[in-house]
Amino acid sequence: MSDVKKVVLAYSGGLDTSVILKWLQDSYQCEVVTFTADIGQGEELEPAREKAKKFGVKEIFIDDLREEFVRDFVFPMFRANTVYEGEYLLGTSIARPLIAKRLIEIANLTGADTISHGATGKGNDQVRFELGAYALKPDIKIIAPWREWDLLSREKLLAYAETHGIPVEMKHKAGGSPYSMDANLLHISYEGRALENPADEPEADMWRWSVSPEQAPDAAEYIDLEFRQGDIVAINGQAMSAATVLAELNRLGGKHGIGRQDLVENRYVGMKSRGCYETPGGTIMLRAHRAIESITLDREVAHLKDELMPRYASLIYNGYWWSPERAMLQTMIDASQAHVNGWVRVKLYKGNVIVVGRDSKTDSLFDATIATFEDDAGAYNQADAGGFIKLNALRLRIAAKLKNK
């Protein structure tokens, strides 16, 4: 007899988690609570409720977490200009700590002793979900079906679903299994099928959020973004909530073919993986945030942030959002944003985000009287540069003399 009594399942209503729901009931003879997070994936979530009801689930949670997701996870990450391995904007990674948090909250609320997720034993998400869960509830039990069952292909999952009467959308496309996709307000990702060969170009009809740059409008579009303490709070003078900001930037970026990525990344578990991503709003945010920081951050603060960013990015990618080291870095990052206030103007054109203006009435460190190429009326004594250069060259001159002996 299983010692698992009640399980909270992270449930999307898609193929994997629909199979997992039935499999948990049959394999563990336990009560299952389903939790479906609305983090802006753009899909109708009520069918997930109906599917759960069909299999006798009594406690069903469908939570709108869009505002919390952007406000408390996406925005803090973008304050650090976070990019993993020079390319990936961490759209999937940053959603996992929020889902783990809510899984634990629901477990506490319902008296569940176990949580379960649909992440595979090959991927990063199993690590992210479980590290988060253990950090928030050390004694929680976790069931990861992909590490236990023998349904180790999309075809086997589809066959299981058919046998047990589990309805699944997009069963087949061009004779094969569907892409493995993950979507939220920050991005949509694609893996599997033809993408498993990194030499093959993605199919043109795979992309969902953006037009191709070739098909984007021939006229550029200018937008003004207002920042307050490192976060965008208004677009073109219109104040917006965090989630609304990102949704609107996604719309604008997608319209202009912005934010498509095709990359091979290094997973935490050790393998390389090819994935494609659409992150239109995040691409705009990153470019604009660096622009406002360029005039409001002290040079050494900006450089220190850039040095620490890869470590911070790896912490998020590898699932350590709830770790003490990430919290420590976040405190420093957030402190650096106190004076990151002002506006940035960007031009969107055929896949490009071009910064064309930036200003801060209260916090700009750009002093035109010093930087000017015209007469600065003594604001900067150019003769001082000679001594500055000689002092900085001292060690180089000493080394050169020694070498020339």
Q: Catalytic positions, please?
A: 16, 96, 125, 180
Q: How many helices (H) and strands (E) does the chain have?
A: 13, 14
Q: How many Cβ atoms from other residues are within 10 Å of residue 315's Cβ?
A: 20
Q: Are 246 and 187 in contact (CB under 8 A)?
A: no
Distances (CA, A) of 124 to 150, 270, 272, 308: 20, 10, 11, 22
Pull the structure tokens for residue 13: 């209503």
CA angle 330, 270, 140 (to 5 degrees): 60
Q: Is the dihedral of CA 176, 261, 218, 238 positive or negative?
A: positive
- Can you tell me the distance from the alpha carbon of 129 to that of 143, in angstroms, rounded to the nearest whole number? 11
Closest CA to 291 of 356, 234, 228: 356
- Dihedrals phi, psi of 354, to nearest 5 degrees: -115, 115
Between strands 342-349 and 352-359, the pairing is antiparallel
Helix (H, G, I), strand (E, B) or coil at 92: coil
Q: Which residues pair with 114 in a beta bridge?
A: 7, 141
Burial (CB < 10 A; 0-12, 13-18, 19+), residue 204, is exposed
Burial 139-151 (b: 16+ CB within 10 A, else e): ebbbbbbbeeeeb
